[in-house]
Amino acid sequence: MSRLVNSVKSFSTTASSLLSDATAASVRPPSFKVCRDVPSIRGLRRQLLQKERTVGFVPTMGAIHEGHLSLIRAAARENTDIFVSIFVNPTQFGVTEDLSSYPRTWDADVEKLEKLNEELERLGENSASAGRITAIFAPTSKAMYPCLPPSSEVDGHGSFVTITPLSTKLEGASRPVFFRGVATVCMKLFNITTPDRVYFGQKDVQQTVVIKRMVKDFHIGTEVRIIETTREHDGLALSSRNVYLGDRRRTVGLTIYKALKAAENAYLTGKTSREDILGAAQSVAQSVLAQQQGLSPSERALYEVDYISLADPDTLDELETVEPTKGAVLSTAFKMAPLEETNAGEDCGLGDGKVPVRLIDNLILHPRA
Ligand code: PAF
């Protein structure tokens, strides 16, 4: 046991040593460990198990926002300890995708998690059930993929988890390695952290369906919790990629939510056919696009609708009619094109409006009582 504890000490770093000096000076002593490799987080997990504590695990790729914090708050309500992973997983990015430009905001992430721990500590003063973040697991690629360099090629070599046909639908149709990468890294993370419960956001609905299927099919001993999407005041779903939008694309990008709400409204007012429900969403998406096309390149933001789907909640098979006792998943993806022309002083977002932004969102059509 003492060897185990020593190895935890030697392999883990504290949060403050990874913060910039200026930031570190202004914060309290770190309230969680930062583990960079597998033995250190495993050692910590074993200690917690021996003390009969429970672990809730929140996997992230960093760029922590309010959506992630809501997952951690949910984990804190039912676990004594929370592990948060920060790992930009290369295998879920296709060869032409934005791995190198994915936002990496380590200092800000650590600061947000420290602040959240302070909040959880205050809550804990009034309730015995509030857990805390105990560790950030921020492994290297080599730690996560120890044998072969991680491959993003569709036919690349490696040890992969594939969940078909779920992974080939919707997002998987245009991102063929995405869910293989997500399932593979989550299997590794679950094996390493052996959490009692794992927390995912509803925003990535297909990811939640794939993970639930993987946990069931591989008999993984963890409970999967899905937490409602966190939205901005006007309904735009929070996403790490929103920082690339800028004002103009953000305003137009809200159409994704408006289109889903129109379809939801059709269902809530009694419609059950695909034509009626998806027709409502398509008409919003098309009319806004037509308006934008009528504007000049320096005023407009163009997009392409990748898909609007009405699908079974468990299989993601497309539905012709919603069975009201079962409900459905309504989901969509919009590709916001780079801005064609920008204006002096305009907020064009990170990357100056040149980065294409894929927006995804969904609403659950709940079973009718
Ligand atoms: O949702 C994400 O941020 C990622 O897909 C996840 C689950 C952390 C796996 O890399």
Ligand 1 centre distance from Cα of residue 6 (Å): 31
Residue 257 neighbours by CB under 8 Å, 6+ apart: 231, 234, 235, 236, 237, 361
Cα separation, 148 vs 157, whole angstroms: 8
The closest residue, in CA terms, to atom 9 on ligand 1 is 182
Cα separation, 108 vs 113, whole angstroms: 9
Ligand 1 centre distance from Cα of residue 263 (Å): 28
CA-to-CA separations, 261 to 11, 121, 220, 236, in angstroms, rounded: 49, 37, 35, 11
CB 86 less than 6 A from any atom of ligand 1: no
Give the number of other CB atoms < 10 A from CB of residue 67.
Answer: 21
Look at residue 347 and tell me whether its pLDDT is greater than 50: yes
Kindly report the pTM of this predicted structure: 0.88
Cα separation, 49 vs 220, whole angstroms: 17
Domains delineated in the chain: 33-227 (3.40.50.620), 240-365 (3.30.1300.10)
CB 89 less than 6 A from any atom of ligand 1: yes
The runs of H, that is alpha helices, within the chain are 2-11, 15-18, 21-26, 38-50, 66-78, 106-126, 141-144, 171-174, 178-193, 205-217, 246-253, 255-268, 274-293
Is residue 203 within 8 A of residue 239, CB to CB? The reply is yes
**For the segment 245-283, what is each residue's pLDDT rounded down to a tens digit?**
999 999 999 999 999 999 999 999 999 999 999 999 999
CB 208 less than 6 A from any atom of ligand 1: no
pLDDT for res 129 = 63
Pocket test for ligand 1, best of 171, 204, 211 (most atoms within 8 A of CB): 204
Ligand 1 centre distance from Cα of residue 144 (Å): 14
Look at residue 17 and tell me whether its pLDDT is greater than 80: no
Q: Is 126 helix (H, G, I), strand (E, B) or coil?
A: helix
Instruction: Extract the tokens encoding 40.
Output: 């250190």
- Strands, E assignment, 219-367: 223-227, 303-311, 328-336, 357-365
Q: Which atom of ligand 1 is nearest to the CA of 85?
A: 8
Q: Is 68 a catalytic residue?
A: yes
Q: Which atom of ligand 1 is nearest to the CA of 60?
A: 8
CB 204 less than 6 A from any atom of ligand 1: yes
**For the segment 189-226, what is each residue's pLDDT rounded down to a tens digit?**
999 999 999 999 999 999 999 999 999 999 999 999 99
Q: Is 284 helix (H, G, I), strand (E, B) or coil?
A: helix
Ligand 1 centre distance from Cα of residue 129 (Å): 27
Which whole number is the average pLDDT over 32-40?
Answer: 97
Is residue 100 very low, low, confident or very high in pLDDT (cuts 50, 70, 90)? Answer: confident
